[in-house]
């Protein structure tokens, strides 16, 4: 192994020439911010043998002893291999490396979104346990590479709702709006402030993403590939903005970046190079070139230093020693970097400061800046705006009007006689079936489509899950019930179901209860099955199975399936509405539909006889009560299913 006498100087050196001591001095320099240290962070994942050749988990290093087990079944892949480093307040720290080197995995660990097997993570010298990390997550802004939003919202709405939820509740609305305006101006979003996010360009979405996190005044800002999709000039301006933010507000800014321009590379305060999950250099950008020169890998004059590093880590550079030996430049860089020197010094600093922190005042953070009630109020407002955009749309209104008109034409002006009994029953079964299924499949889309946004916002401490869940379900209710009402107003009177307004309102009430029940079942499936294709398959099978048990298609259910009828909202809705409609004696008309009429066109049959022929079970109150029960119970299960999601998913 080649000697590396200057490694410690290159790793931590400031403008002064005493590098290692600067780790201990960080406490004094960082009194107004958060100094983040990590020592010997190690993370592995279990990879199934059948997917080894198709799925990349980031790092190509195989854990010791895993090679022998690769042929037998699962194998462990090392994502992070004892990585150490620190990031100071007031500086921009960049981690670089080829795709799959572990950059995003390290960011996930530092943000508390992902667990790691071993190592120490500390803030201002105080090691973080799981409970402290959860509290601190509210003060960590994590800008992910993918720009995740409710895209029906405008830029201003997105920033306003973020400010309302994550800035202190004690702030006035005017103060929060001022912060929104300042962020819009800072990120040059004034021209698109009133545009829906879905209409923005990639670069504009990226700026909205960053603005959403910076708005909350975080202590630590983590950014995963923030310059991806941006041109060179915009990338430099973005990094300059982050540097100004770090210096003026003493923020700790950490970003991952794949291959920066020369101007970007020189602008970073510190860099960490990763290859295959291992650190190969940590220090100042300019010192990294000295380090490479000492190891015989000098950067050619006029060549971008970042590109040169990437060539070395990708194995694209050609050096005599690399061709004459079996070791690539990447393997040699991994071998030569002595990470243990840095780790030991970091451990010493953490131990010294950790002892002192027990007697000093430590700033405590609450996970949420707003109360449950305030969160619910803001989320209802936001969900109503989303509902109007996603549910109460012109196309859905037109659909409800047209289907109501079609049903009214097909069942136009039915007589209240023996021959129309089946038609009246089929009208209501169609009505119940259509609206239950419509609400099922629309509400099923709620959580799979919003999952990423909700997990992102909850990870940042924006709101409690219970506040979101209740706000979502209650805010969408008005939009969901208006459309069935439109349908009923048209088809009920066209079909001449009844001239009584009380019967009309009663049938509308049962219809709306059935809509709520279908929505609850859709929410349950959507909260437990996030895969859209699988979820749609499950919901289709469940919906059709319950519809067949609804009492219209199958009159004689096999005895071993009798229990399943009690799970069908279609049956409860159908059986609740028929006694309301058939509430008067029905005249016989000679059609011989009802055996009691005996083919005569005189006389009538009591409503009880019709209900018995239609195999109606239980009373209106019981069936309506069961609809109400099934409108609530699946929601509770859906809520706890969402809560059961692993913390790592966030």
DSSP assignment of 436-459, as one string?
HHHHHHHHHTHHHHHHHHHHHHHH
pLDDT (0 to 100) of residue 610: 86
Helix axes 421-444, 465-494, angle to 10 degrees: 150
Span 607-634, mean pLDDT?
90
Position 352 pLDDT exceeds 70: no
pLDDT of residue 64: 47
pLDDT digits (tens, 9 = 90+) for 223-240: 998 887 777 777 787 788
Least confidently predicted of 9-23, 136-150, 370-384, 610-624: 9-23
Residue 369, both tokens:
């800046």
Residues 58-78 have a mean pLDDT of 54
Q: How many CA atoms lie within 13 A of 433 on its CB side?
A: 19
Rounded-to-integer distance, Cα 88 and Cα 12, Å: 11
User: How far is it, in rounded angstroms, from Cα 562 to Cα 300?
Assistant: 81
pLDDT for 70 equals 43
> What per-residue confidence (pLDDT) applies to 30?
42
Compute CA distances 151 → 148, 158, 378, 382, whole Å.
Answer: 8, 9, 17, 12
User: Which token pair is 527?
Assistant: 């909260």
User: Which residue in 224, 278, 313, 339 sits closest to 80, CA to CA?
Assistant: 278
The rounded distance, in Å, linking the Cα atoms of 425 and 613 is 11
Which carries the bigger pLDDT value, residue 207 or residue 255?
255
Contact 196, 152 (CB under 8 A): yes
What is the DSSP-derived secondary structure letter of residue 32?
Answer: T
User: Which one is predicted more confidently, 431 or 296?
Assistant: 431
Average pLDDT, the chain: 80
Task: Please state, in angstroms and rounded to a whole number, the distance separating the CA atoms of residues 253 and 91.
Answer: 6
Return d(Cα 473, Cα 590) in angstroms, integer: 50
Give the model's pLDDT for residue 401: 94
Would you place residue 412 in the very low, low, confident or very high pLDDT band (cuts 50, 70, 90)? very high
DSSP labels for 294-337? HTT-PPPTTS-HHHHHHHHHHT----HHHHHSS--HHHHHHHH-
Determine the pLDDT at residue 12: 35
The pLDDT score that the predictor gives to residue 325 is 56
- Give the integer Cα–Cα distance in Å for 612 and 615: 5
Structure confidence at residue 26 (pLDDT): 43
Handedness of CA 399, 404, 407, 408 (dihedral sign): negative
Q: What is the pLDDT of residues 564-591, one digit of tens each?
A: 888 888 889 989 999 999 988 888 888 8
pTM exceeds cut of 0.75: no
Give residue 603's pLDDT: 83
Q: What 3-state DSSP class applies to 220? A: strand
Q: Which of 212, 210, 214 minimizes the C-alpha distance to 153?
A: 212
pLDDT band (50, 70, 90) for residue 600: confident
C-alpha to C-alpha distance for 227 and 74, rounded to whole angstroms: 36
User: Sorting pLDDT into bands at 50, 70 and 90, what band is 502?
Assistant: very high
SS3 40: strand
Weakest mean pLDDT among 325-329, 502-506, 514-518? 325-329
CA atoms within 13 A on the CB side of 609: 14
| Matching residue, tokens 């349950």 | 524
For the ranges 102-111, 322-331, 551-560, the lowest mean pLDDT is seen at 322-331
Average pLDDT estimate for 164-175 = 89
Predicted confidence at residue 402, as pLDDT, reads 95
* pLDDT at 28 exceeding the cut of 80: no
What structural domains and CATH numbers belong to the chain?
7-357 (3.40.50.300), 372-586+618-649 (no CATH)
Residues 340, 176: Cα–Cα separation, whole Å: 46
pLDDT score at 61: 45
Q: Binning pLDDT at 50, 70 and 90, where does residue 117 land?
A: confident
Three-class SS of residue 96? strand
Range with lowest mean pLDDT among 26-30, 49-53, 71-75, 87-91: 26-30
How many other CB atoms are found less than 10 A from the CB of residue 501?
Answer: 8
Distance CA 245, CA 252 (A): 9
In this structure, what are the phi and psi dihedrals at residue 37, rounded to the nearest 5 degrees?
-120, 145
**Is pLDDT of 106 > 70?**
yes
Is the pLDDT at 633 greater than 60, yes or no?
A: yes
pLDDT value at position 6?
Answer: 43
In this predicted structure, the answer to whether residue 10 has a pLDDT above a threshold of 60 is no
CA nearest 245: which of 295, 182, 303, 301? 182
| Distance (Å, whole) CA 332 – CA 308 | 15
Q: Which contacts (CB < 8 Å, 24+ apart) does range 453-458 have?
A: 453/148, 453/149, 453/150, 455/645, 455/649, 455/650, 456/144, 456/148, 456/650, 457/165, 458/650
Segment 627-650 shows an average pLDDT of 80
> Per the structure block, which two tokens stand in for 562?
């009798």
pLDDT at position 59, please?
43
Residue 229 CB burial class (10 angstroms; 0-12, 13-18, ≥19): middle
Pairing of strands 61-62, 36-47: unpaired
pLDDT attached to residue 566? 84
C-alpha–C-alpha distance, residues 52 and 148, integer Å: 29
Which pLDDT does position 353 carry in this prediction?
A: 54
At residue 504, the 3 state secondary structure works out as helix
Which range has the worst mean pLDDT, 14-18, 342-346, 406-410, 554-558?
14-18
Could you identify the residue written with the tokens 């008005």? 478
Q: How confident is the model at residue 71 (pLDDT cuts 50, 70, 90)?
A: very low
Given a cut of 70, whether residue 162 has pLDDT beyond it is: yes
How large a percentage of the chain has pLDDT more than 70? 84
Over residues 129-138, the mean pLDDT reads 71
Model confidence at 598: pLDDT above 80: no
| Token code pair at residue 246 | 């770090």
Q: What pLDDT does 238 receive?
A: 79
Token reading at 225: 């590939």
Q: Enumerate the β-bridge partners of residue 46.
A: 76
Distance, CA of 339 to CA of 84 (rounded, Å): 7
Q: Which helix (H) or strand (E) holds 36?
A: strand 36-47
| 467-484 per-position pLDDT tens digit | 999 998 888 887 788 889
Q: How far apart are CA 649 and CA 45, in angstroms?
A: 15
Q: Can you spell out the DSSP letters for 1-21?
A: ----TTHHHHHH--SSS-TTH
Q: What is the dihedral of CA 369, 371, 377, 378, to 10 degrees?
A: 10
Q: Which of 275, 273, 327, 270 is nearest to 296 (CA)?
A: 327
pLDDT of residue 394: 84
**pLDDT of the residue at 613:** 86
Percent of the chain with pLDDT over 90: 24
pLDDT of 15 > 60? The answer is: no
More confident residue, 332 or 630: 630
Distance CA 384, CA 74 (A): 47
Question: Bigger pLDDT: 587 or 202?
Answer: 587
Query: Which of residues 72 and 133 earns the better pLDDT score?
Result: 133
465 vs 69: CA distance, rounded Å: 41
pLDDT at 254 over 70: yes
Confidence of residue 48 (pLDDT cuts 50, 70, 90): low
Q: Assign 49 a pLDDT band (cuts: 50, 70, 90).
A: low
Q: Which helix or strand (DSSP H or E) is residue 515 part of?
A: helix 501-528
């Amino acid at each position: 192994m080649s000697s590396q006498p200057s490694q410690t100087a290159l790793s931590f050196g400031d403008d002064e020439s005493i590098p290692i001591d600067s780790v201990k001095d960080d406490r004094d320099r960082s009194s107004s911010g958060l100094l983040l240290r990590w020592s010997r962070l190690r993370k592995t994942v279990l990879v199934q043998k059948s997917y080894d050749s198709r799925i990349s988990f980031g790092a190509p290093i195989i854990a010791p002893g895993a090679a022998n087990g690769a042929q037998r079944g699962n194998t462990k892949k090392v994502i992070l291999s004892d990585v150490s480093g620190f990031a100071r307040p007031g500086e921009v720290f960049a981690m670089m490396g080829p795709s799959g080197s572990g950059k995003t995995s390290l960011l996930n660990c530092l943000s508390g979104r992902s667990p790691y097997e071993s190592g120490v993570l500390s803030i201002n010298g105080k090691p973080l346990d799981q409970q402290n990390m959860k509290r601190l997550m509210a003060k960590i802004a994590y800008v992910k590479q993918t720009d995740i939003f409710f895209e029906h919202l405008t830029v201003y709405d997105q920033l306003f709702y973020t400010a309302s939820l994550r800035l202190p509740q004690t702030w006035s609305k005017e103060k929060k709006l001022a912060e929104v305006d300042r962020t819009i101006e800072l990120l040059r979003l004034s021209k698109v402030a009133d545009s829906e996010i879905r209409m923005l360009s990639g670069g504009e979405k990226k700026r909205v993403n960053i603005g959403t996190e910076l708005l909350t005044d975080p202590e630590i800002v983590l950014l995963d590939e923030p310059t991806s999709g941006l041109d060179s000039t915009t990338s430099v301006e973005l990094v300059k903005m982050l540097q100004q933010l770090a210096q003026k507000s003493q923020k700790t800014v950490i970003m991952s970046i794949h291959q920066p321009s020369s101007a970007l590379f020189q602008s970073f305060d510190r860099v960490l190079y990763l290859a295959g999950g291992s650190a190969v250099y940590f220090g100042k950008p300019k010192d990294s070139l000295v380090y490479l020169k000492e190891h015989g890998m000098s950067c050619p004059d006029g060549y971008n230093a970042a590109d040169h590093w990437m060539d070395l880590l990708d194995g694209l550079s050609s050096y005599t020693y690399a061709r004459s030996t079996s070791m690539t430049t990447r393997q040699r860089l991994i071998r030569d970097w002595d990470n243990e020197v840095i780790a030991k010094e970091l451990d010493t600093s953490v131990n010294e400061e950790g002892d002192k922190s027990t007697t000093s005042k430590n700033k405590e953070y609450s996970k949420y800046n707003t109360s449950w009630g305030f969160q619910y109020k803001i989320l209802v407002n936001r969900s109503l705006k989303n509902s109007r955009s996603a549910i109460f749309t012109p196309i859905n209104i037109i659909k409800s009007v047209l289907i109501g008109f079609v049903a009214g034409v097909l069942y136009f002006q039915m007589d209240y006689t023996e021959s129309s009994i089946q038609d009246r029953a089929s009208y209501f079964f169609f009505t119940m079936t259509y609206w239950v299924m419509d609400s099922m499949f629309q509400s099923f889309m709620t959580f799979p489509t919003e999952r990423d946004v909700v997990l992102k916002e909850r990870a940042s401490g924006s709101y409690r899950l219970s506040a979101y869940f209740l706000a979502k379900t209650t805010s969408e209710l008005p939009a969901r019930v208006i459309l069935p009402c439109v349908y009923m107003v048209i088809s009920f009177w066209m079909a001449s179901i009844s001239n009584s307004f009380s019967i009309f309102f009663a049938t509308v009430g049962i219809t709306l209860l059935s809509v709520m029940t279908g929505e609850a079942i859709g929410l349950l499936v959507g909260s437990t099955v996030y895969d859209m294709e699988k979820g749609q398959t499950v919901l289709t099978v469940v919906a059709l199975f319950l519809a067949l048990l609804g009492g219209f298609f199958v009159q004689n259910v096999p005895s071993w399936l009798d229990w399943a009828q009690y799970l069908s909202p279609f049956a409860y809705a159908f059986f609740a509405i028929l006694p309301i409609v058939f509430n008067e004696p029905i005249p016989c008309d000679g059609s011989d539909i009802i055996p009691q009429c005996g083919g005569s066109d005189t006389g009538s049959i009591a409503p009880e006889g019709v209900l018995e022929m239609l195999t109606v079970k239980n009373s209106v109150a019981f069936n309506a009560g069961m609809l109400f029960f099934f409108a609530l119970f699946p929601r509770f299960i859906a809520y706890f299913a969402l809560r059961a999601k692993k913390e790592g998913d966030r």
